[in-house]
Structure 1
Amino acid sequence: MEIINNSPSVIIVLHEIYGINHHIQKVCEKFSLKGYDIICPNLINLRKPFNYNFQEEAYKYFMRNVGFDSAVHQVKQIVKKAKQQYDHIYLLGYSIGATIAWLCSVEENVCDGIIAYYGSRIRDYLDIMPKCPALLIFAEKEKSFNVQQLVISLKKLNSDVYMLNGKHGFSDPFCENYNEKSFEEAETLVDNFLEKNC
């Protein structure tokens, strides 16, 4: 999915395990209306996204058929091509997309900033020191790990790290964990981050 406004800045939106669903489409449209060009690669390469009820199947599909290494390679290729056209390149990822953005940040001059929403697998890559500005936004409650401990570790890595009220998916209006107040707080953090780093 691409939306072209002939902007000097592009946001590469990286979806969750589900693929390019209504939430990701809305994110793309919102940033397009703010004047950015948008590139949203279909990392799972399926015509239809997974339904939220099939979370486990979606995760298994991603890990078996795509995996982080392949996804990072795909995104770096997109960034390389985008560099020929854009002055500013940002990666905006949700969940696995957030972890992919984090993994891309390890190299010099890959992009001008990453924004990562609830990238729970970032905890597996704490040896990374991002080479660009990084905004990391986490939900306060996660089933599989201690968010507070992760936030403390990440703050040592010179990143802007925030923990907002709610559960994984709080910024997705189509998700049962949607939290409007935290969604709005996150929006403000993202807008300020982009303004500061543009």
Structure 2
Amino acid sequence: MSNWITLPTPLGPISAWQALPSGSPRAGLVVIQEIFGANAHIRHVAEQYAAEGYAVLAPSFFDLIEPDLQLDYDAAGVARGKALVDQLGVDRAVTIVEAAAAVLAPYGKVGTVGYCWGGTIAMLAAQRLGLPSASYYGARNVPFLDIPFKAPAIFHFGGFDASIPAAAVAAHREKQPGLPVYVYPADHAFNREVGMHYHAPSAALALERTLAFLKEHL
């Protein structure tokens, strides 16, 4: 079952896409959007994890600034999305994740998975909130890598991703040697099935690893 719900947060109510499994949930999962909003791709990701047995919420983070906003994958959408996440800020984003996790708590342990900008917020959720988290191609991760982790995390990167150079990937291994870091023969956003950089083999392998991670830690 999938539908929009109203998610209460300390910052005010926002929308969130809720995807529930057909049986009893194994755990809860917060899916954290890219810079384009809680769009069809992110909702598909939520449903993908629900099919694996998780109770999922995908908050619409931009609702605090402009409700119901979903951006196109073009230059204008990228520019607008970057401006919006800068305006929202990481602190408010983590607060939203915490509110979503509280709603999911009745289903058991809660983790997160995030993509692009959301990959960095997922990492911060592991550091600040103690939520086991999977971070996909988080280009903003490096400045936060010295923060201690309260929960485990897993990292996925595309080896052809010009926005995340090899030195940035290496920094994850150097600063957090106990956390798994995977690099795939793919570009940025290789998991986004509607994008030009979608790479099905890499997306499938990253999903397999993420599901194993979530099964272990949730």
Q: How does 1:173-184 map to 2 (within 5 A)?
A: 173-184=193-204
What fraction of aligned residue pairs are identical, expressed as a percent?
Answer: 25
2:139 is the counterpart of 1:120:
yes
Distance 1:37 1:197 in 2: 15
For the 8 Å contact 1:137–1:163, the answer to whether it is kept is yes
Number of positions where the alignment pairs a residue of Structure 1 with one of Structure 2: 193
1:3 to 3, 19, 28: 19
Q: How does 1:87-126 map to 2 (within 5 A)?
A: 87-107=108-128, 110-111=130-131, 113-126=132-145
Which amino acid letter does the alignment assign opposite residue 167 of structure 1? D
For the 8 Å contact 1:151–1:162, the answer to whether it is kept is no
Q: How does 1:135-150 map to 2 (within 5 A)?
A: 135-146=154-165, 148-150=166-168
What are the superposed Cα offsets for residues 136-156 of structure 1, whole Å, 9 maximum, x if unpaired?
Answer: 10111233342x222322124
- Pairwise CA distance, 1:173: 0.8
Aligned position for 1:190: 210
SS at match of 1:136: strand
Distance 1:8 1:74 in 2: 22
2:96 to 74, 83, 86: 74
For the 8 Å contact 2:122–2:133, the answer to whether it is kept is yes
Aligned position for 1:39: 57
Unaligned runs of 5+ in 1: none
SS at match of 2:134: strand
- Pairwise CA distance, 1:107: 3.2
TM-score under structure 1 length normalisation: 0.90
What are the superposed Cα offsets for residues 31-78 of structure 1, whole Å, 9 maximum, x if unpaired?
Answer: 1111110111100113141010121121112212x1212111221232
SS at match of 1:154: helix
Unaligned runs of 5+ in 2: 1-16
Aligned position for 1:133: 152
- Pairwise CA distance, 1:2: 1.0
Please, what is the CA RMSD of the aligned residues? 1.7
